[in-house]
A and B are shown apart, each in its own frame.
Chain A
Amino acid sequence: KAGVTQTPRYLIKTRGQQVTLSCSPISGHRSVSWYQQTPGQGLQFLFEYFSETQRNKGNFPGRFSGRQFSNSRSEMNVSTLELGDSALYLCASHRDGTDTQYFGPGTRLTVL
């Protein structure tokens, strides 16, 4: 069974640009969560999508948004990039009704 995949793995952008990251969950998993990790910080929860609806949201500004498609694939968008958005972005999927979240390898975003 294929794991969670994320594309791209690495990305370099400049301040003010926007970026879209993609996450494909494990087959059969309808829930996708997104996390940000910056140096010295634990993983910070961004949002969770289930059946194309945002079900839960962390404490991030509105520049961070996401969506989920009917095949459960999810995208995360960050507009008007700031230097502080440089981070590793991880997504995780899980089967609804279970507790374990399965993580992808992450997208390393660098904002110059």
Chain B
Amino acid sequence: ILNVEQSPQSLHVQEGDSTNFTCSFPSSNFYALHWYRWETAKSPEALFVMTLNGDEKKKGRISATLNTKEGYSYLYIKGSQPEDSATYLCAFETGANNLFFGTGTRLTVIP
């Protein structure tokens, strides 16, 4: 069983604040790192898939970086909005479409 850790477990930020979370994963057998956003009562929504060390991806106010050598990825949200409130999941993939998920970071943006 591969250990994927996310921190913090939860956080509350004020609207307009920028924030970031961490995903730590094994540095061996790396194939890809996935980020998902999971809003309550909805399906997890894919944000990014990153495969190369040093990858940086951006989607609107959300961006992510990847360091496969040290086994971590950061997700950044700039100028948080209430609609950003969700659980953010990362998943480590060794190939063969087998994803190992962290337990997520639950973000609450306070208006």
Number of interface residues of B (CB under 8 A): 24
Residue among A4, A40, A45, A59 making CB contact with B43, cutoff 8 Å: A4
A residues less than 8 Å from B99 (CB atoms): 33, 35, 43, 45, 101
Q: Does A55 contact B (CB under 8 A)?
A: yes
The answer to whether A58 touches B101 (Cβ under 8 A) is no
Q: Does A70 contact B (CB under 8 A)?
A: no
The answer to whether B97 touches A31 (Cβ under 8 A) is yes
For window 55-112 of chain A, which residues contact chain B by CB distance below 8 Å?
55-56, 58-59, 90, 94, 99-106
Q: Encode contact with A along B23-58: 1 for CB under 8 Å, 0 otherwise.
A: 000000000101010000011111001010000000
The answer to whether A56 touches B43 (Cβ under 8 A) is no
A residues less than 8 Å from B100 (CB atoms): 42, 45
Chain B residue nearest to A32 (CB atoms) is B97
The answer to whether B97 touches A59 (Cβ under 8 A) is no
Q: In the docked arrangement, what's the CA distance between A70 and B18, Å?
A: 47
The answer to whether B98 touches A99 (Cβ under 8 A) is no
Interface residues of B (CB under 8 A from A): 1, 4, 32, 34, 36, 42-46, 49, 51, 89, 91, 93, 96-104
Interface residues of A (CB under 8 A from B): 3-4, 31, 33, 35, 40-45, 48, 55-56, 58-59, 90, 94, 99-106
